[in-house]
Chains A and B, each alone.
Chain A
């Protein structure tokens, strides 16, 4: 696998120095008023910027004033060129609460839009403003959770992350509903070898029709010929130039390849053969910093001539625009934020609690961090996992559930397609700090080829449920880890979290989009009690329910990413109370994710967008916060300033 990486890699080992101004990639402006923008696309002229906002269920098209030619000041810096006020020049493409995931302007005046919730493709006409849904078209039979898309004169490429492949079509002649989509090739297939893909996240078709795929799970770029033959690739997990950590977006323009290197907080630029040219991006440190600094850059669009780039940051509700002039001559990796030795916890989306212990999932590090929390705030006592394919290691982390009865943690390992059980030695307030031998891998279950694992819920007796994100159903395993049955097929659309309610002996599931294609579709909480009959709807009309935490009395809490709040319901689904709004204060959140209730009835909320863990009492009164100082100081000071 490595041979093809060697030459471009060896040549790419160049590092340079640059003044901070250029490290910001000549930041131009920020487009705000968005919810959770994931994909962006620029049209042929560079006048129109389309932004996909799946949580808001809409696509926004932004007119951009054609930038004047680049001016370089005598001292070498580049002025930020003001663009026309975005609020004056925007119009939405209403989408009725669907899940627009991928965007691409075609050369023929249309905007392609994929919908991963409904498994559909549609296109929007620039001229008429209408949407063609290709109702009844055969193409929809081919699509399974379609993600990013790109279009060239001759090709249309659609990424299917859960199937680890890219569908390559001949670019169709648009003939309304009867348009024929001719499939030319399927690129990829699940794996780590050359030409295989693991949760690919984006695709870009170059001018010569070669297809560049952002192979996120393998932290590399893979390049295919127009007929689907694998040509070459470059990259590996890492931080040096030419290496990636969770690369998310890829774009080709003006003879270059641009990649948003998400967990490295930067954009890297290569030539079309994978030779590293330069990179830009200073790590945002202050919450919501922006102003050219990058947090987790995701979707990417670059204008055809390469003079303008748009970078979407879903976790910060914005798209940043950058002017790209001639690449700076020198760059350095010795950015202060990189050398900051205080490793603050990166909170992933999931946590687990029990027995005085807290487990934080850290997907960037592919590990779980157990904390002991009996006295003065959480204290990390060990580490589980670590990146790798060997038993006990993890490639990604999507679900966790702890059982205090036997001090064991069950973890969903999506990259390795398995579920793994770890046990922890006895831990209490007296345990000396940090022992890497405290946890041990006990056993693992390899999942069948078509299962992509998400959340986990353990029952008291040792059996467990696993959410399959690809089939969108729940797999139930008995105490011997044998599959007993599956639940929820055809009923779940966008399931996110599952929790076992021991009192009601039922499985609760948050489903973020209830019925795709319906007007005013909402999220809901479902309960599966009886394996034979279907689920009952316990709570309806939620905006975007994500995390679920169950109380000892069968009541539960639900977090909402769209409304930035947490709500409490009784066992029957009656709403009792709720709290939260968008922000950094004590009763505020930013895209909250997992919710757990500990043995003392405290409510723990992963305030994901704010990098912090919030702790409340059962009625939502703030108790504690845990996270990096920059994000928690406002909370510690409390409302009204000083303590």
Chain B
């Protein structure tokens, strides 16, 4: 009895590096509630339901790849939080990075791990035309849109008349731009087209991208247990309506305090939407070194489909500024985009090459920095190991798990072509 009392008092007297309620409230208010999904002025149909329905149809349509083997949903599987559960994406070959989730993708400032696209609608052509991903091409896409009655009708309702592609000399069945000195016949076909014809195809491509973007903006998740906790706490209920377990609550404080996580995972989306080098070791020795933002910044600035380009619906707005003022510097080599931590428990494995299978491994890495790959011989590493205890690591993982939530409108995640209709339930949790 006395022994138990002593143990009990020792446990209780253990120092809590806690935040005062006022400080916690202030920091909490930065993480929740979430803002409304901001409009995208570069995409005139971003919030148009009809565009979203067209986008959804195309998302699940494997005719976007020439042999029908790939649709967007192949790698962005609705059953798996719109990723694929693998470390590296599996296209026609194994790719060099992990599939990012599409949950809440409408909120992203930059797309891809290196930010090579600055809008959801301009992102399409990368997986579409990558020879080892879908290996499709924009001419085939244009022919698909114009020859399929349903698609064409939907397209023209949104964007006006589609181009007349009947002259096969002007509009080959397959064509797409390619790298300098590329050998692909599709590239030669593209180079054989007139600039005006190419522009009309590019416009169609941009419009299809905008429809897909409208659809993907619907893949928004609801408030999570963490948000409910925050709402109650900020409303004065210091227990947070019990929405977080004790573990998760301690994890929240670690997230805000000792872990320094909000340096990069800040704001209601738990990402600064920018790029950092955190010295994560590559998945294996065979993978190429990932140039990260160094390559991405160069690509996005030169992208004809960026926010300042001809296909943007707001060429001189804030989004265009983001890309035109962008700096590009050798120091960016290896910098990777900070992913959002919302729904992170659903998107294993983790990091840009899926290096860590579990959240525990992620937290362990930040705790010890074991295996960290220093950038270069003469460079300093500013990241410091957090040095969590085993219990703290568990608490932090518990907090991260509290950030998951289902889709607000699950019907959007259902394949409209699927045989079984009427089953609208959100299946992935």
Asked if B377 is at the interface of the complex by the 8 Å CB criterion, the answer is yes
Contact between A238 and B333 (Cβ–Cβ < 8 Å)? yes
Q: Kindly state the separation between the CA atoms of A15 and B281 in the bound complex, as whole angstroms.
A: 14
Kindly state the separation between the CA atoms of A2 and B299 in the bound complex, as whole angstroms: 10
Q: Are B295 and A240 in contact (CB under 8 A)?
A: no
Residues of chain A contacted by B195 (CB below 8 angstroms): none
A1-46 interface (Cβ within 8 A of B) = 2-3, 6-7, 9-10, 13-15, 17
Tell me if A332 and B285 are in contact (CB < 8 A): yes
In the complex, which residue of chain A has the Cβ closest to the Cβ of B289? A240
B285 touches A343 (CB 8 A): no
B427 within 8 A of A: no
Whether, in the assembled complex, B328 has its beta carbon less than 8 Å from a beta carbon of chain A, the answer is: yes
The 9 tightest CB contacts between A and B, nearest first, are A239-B376, A13-B288, A237-B330, A236-B330, A240-B289, A2-B298, A238-B330, A364-B378, A7-B180
Additional 20 contacts, C-beta under 8 A, given A238-B330, A239-B379: A7-B180, A7-B181, A9-B291, A10-B295, A15-B288, A236-B294, A236-B330, A238-B333, A239-B377, A245-B378, A263-B377, A333-B289, A337-B377, A338-B376, A341-B374, A341-B381, A343-B378, A346-B378, A364-B378, A387-B331
Within 8 A of B (CB), among A329-362: 332-334, 337-339, 341, 343, 346
A265 within 8 A of B: yes
- Give CA–CA (A544, B339) in the complex, Å: 57
B363-401 interface mask toward A, CB cutoff 8 Å, 1 = contact, 0 = none?
000000000011111111100000000000000000000
Q: How far is the CA of A265 from the CA of B302 in the complex (A)?
A: 33
Determine whether A241 belongs to the interface, using a CB cutoff of 8 Å to chain B: yes
Please state if A338 and B328 are interface contacts (CB–CB under 8 Å).
no
Least CB separation from B369: chain A residue: A341
Chain B residues near A7: list those with CB within 8 A: 179-181
A338 and B374 within 8 A (CB): yes
Which A residues touch B302, using CB under 8 A? 2-3
A contact residues around B330 at 8 Å (CB) = 219, 236-238, 243
Residues from chain B with Cβ under 8 Å of A338 in the complex: 374, 376-377
Report the minimum CB–CB distance from A110 to chain B (whole Å).
39
- Across the interface, which residues of B come within 8 angstroms of A238, CB to CB? 294, 330, 333, 376
CA–CA, A497 to B413, complex, Å? Answer: 72
The answer to whether B333 and A264 touch across the interface, beta carbons within 8 angstroms, is no
With CB as the reference atom, state the residue of chain B lying closest to A17: B285
Q: What A residues does B329 contact at CB under 8 A?
A: 388
Q: Is the CB of B378 within 8 A of A13?
A: no
- Assembled-state Cα–Cα distance A241/B290 (Å): 11
Tell me which residues across on chain B come within 8 A of A337, comparing CB atoms. Answer: 377
B289/A13 in contact, CB under 8 A: yes
Contacts from B to A (Cβ < 8 Å)? 179-181, 285, 287-289, 291, 294-295, 298-299, 302, 328-331, 333-334, 373-381
Asked whether A240 lies within 8 Å of B378 as measured between CB atoms, the reply is no
Tell me the bound Cα distance from A238 to B378 in angstroms.
10
A14–B380 touching, CB < 8 Å: no
Question: Which residue of B179, B285, B378 is within 8 Å of A365 (Cβ)?
Answer: B378
Closest to A334 in B: B285
Asked if A283 CB lies within 8 Å of chain B CBs, one says: yes
**Shortest Cβ distance from A387 into B: residue:** B331
Q: Which residues of B contact A283 (CB under 8 A)?
A: 377
CA distance A14 to B282 in the complex (A): 13
Complex contact B288–A6 (CB within 8 A): no
Known: A263-B378, A264-B377, A283-B377. A2 touches B288 (CB 8 A): no
Hey, which chain B residues are within 8 Å of A17, CB to CB? Answer: 285
Q: State in angstroms the CA–CA spacing of A7 and B299 once bound together.
A: 11
- CB pair B288–A14 under 8 Å, yes or no, is yes
Cα–Cα distance between A240 and B294 once the two chains are bound (Å): 12
- A339 interface neighbour in B287, B288, B294, B373, Cβ under 8 Å: B373
Q: Which residue of A lies closest to B299 (CB)?
A: A6
Residue of B nearest to A245 (CB): B378
Closest CB of chain A to B14's CB: distance in Å? 29
Which residues from B are CB-within-8-Å of A237?
330
Q: How far is the CA of A13 from the CA of B285 in the complex (A)?
A: 13
Report B-chain residues with C-beta under 8 Å of the C-beta of A365: 378
In the complex, chain A residues whose CB is within 8 Å of the CB of B285: 15, 17, 332, 334
Q: Is the CB of A339 within 8 A of B289?
A: no
A553 and B183 alpha carbons, distance in the complex (Å)? 75
- Which residues of the other chain, A, contact B180 by a CB distance below 8 angstroms? 7
Q: Which of A2, A240, A263, A346 contacts B328 (CB 8 A)?
A: A2
A contact residues around B376 at 8 Å (CB): 238-239, 245, 264, 338
**Complex formed: what's the CA distance from A341 to B370 in Å?**
12
A339–B376 alpha-carbon span in the complex (Å): 8
Q: Residue-by-residue, is A253-296 near B (CB-CB < 8 Å gives 1, otherwise 0)?
A: 00000000001110000000000000000010000000000000
- Check A243 against B374 for contact (C-beta < 8 Å): no
- Expressed in whole angstroms, the minimum distance between the Cβ of A239 and any Cβ of chain B is 3
Chain B residues in 8 Å Cβ range of A343: 378, 380
In the assembled complex, which residues on chain A have CB atoms less than 8 Å from the CB atom of B295? Answer: 6, 9-10
For the complex, give the distance between the alpha carbons of A240 and B381 in Å.
Answer: 17
Asked if residues B333 and A240 are in contact (CB atoms below 8 Å), the reply is yes
Cα–Cα distance between A2 and B301 once the two chains are bound (Å): 11
The residues of A that contact B377 with a CB separation of less than 8 Å are 239, 263-265, 283, 337-338
Residues of B near A387 (CB, < 8 A) are 331
CB within 8 Å of B: which A346-401 residues: 346, 364-365, 387-388
When C-beta atoms are compared, the residue in chain A nearest to B328 turns out to be A2
- In chain B, what residue has the closest Cβ to A365? B378
Contacts of A2 in B (CB 8 A): 298, 302, 328
Q: How far is the CB of B287 from chain A (nearest CB, A)?
A: 8
- Is the pair A241, B289 in contact by a Cβ cutoff of 8 Å? yes
- Cβ of A240 and Cβ of B291 under 8 Å apart? yes
* A-B pairs with beta carbons under 8 Å apart, 7 shown: A2-B298, A7-B181, A14-B288, A17-B285, A240-B291, A243-B333, A387-B331
A138–B246 CA distance with the chains assembled, in angstroms: 86
With the chains together, A365 CA to B375 CA distance in Å? Answer: 13
CB distance from B192 to the nearest CB of A (A): 21
Question: B384 to chain A: closest CB distance in Å?
Answer: 12
A388 CA / B329 CA spacing, docked (Å): 9
Instruction: Please give, as numbers and ranges, the residues of chain A lying within 8 Å of B299 by CB-CB distance.
Output: 6
With both beta carbons as reference points, the residue of chain B lying nearest to A237 in the complex is identified as: B330
A412 to B157, CA, bound (A): 65
Give Cα A338 to B333, complex, Å: 16
Contacts of B289 in A (CB 8 A): 13, 15, 240-241, 333
**In whole angstroms, what is the CA distance A332 to B302 when docked?**
32
Residue of B329, B378, B379, B380 with most partner-chain A CB within 10 A: B378
Report A-chain residues with C-beta under 8 Å of the C-beta of B179.
7, 10
**Distance (Å) between the CB of B108 and the closest chain A CB?**
24
A131 to B298, CA, bound (A): 51
Q: How far is the CA of A93 from the CA of B289 in the complex (A)?
A: 46
Bound-state CA distance A10–B298 (Å) is: 12
Complex Cα spacing A15 to B288, Å: 5
Q: Which residues of B contact A13 (CB under 8 A)?
A: 288-289, 291
A136 to B375, CA, bound (A): 53
Residue of A nearest to B375 (CB): A239
Contact residues in A for B333 (Cβ distance below 8 Å): 238, 240, 243
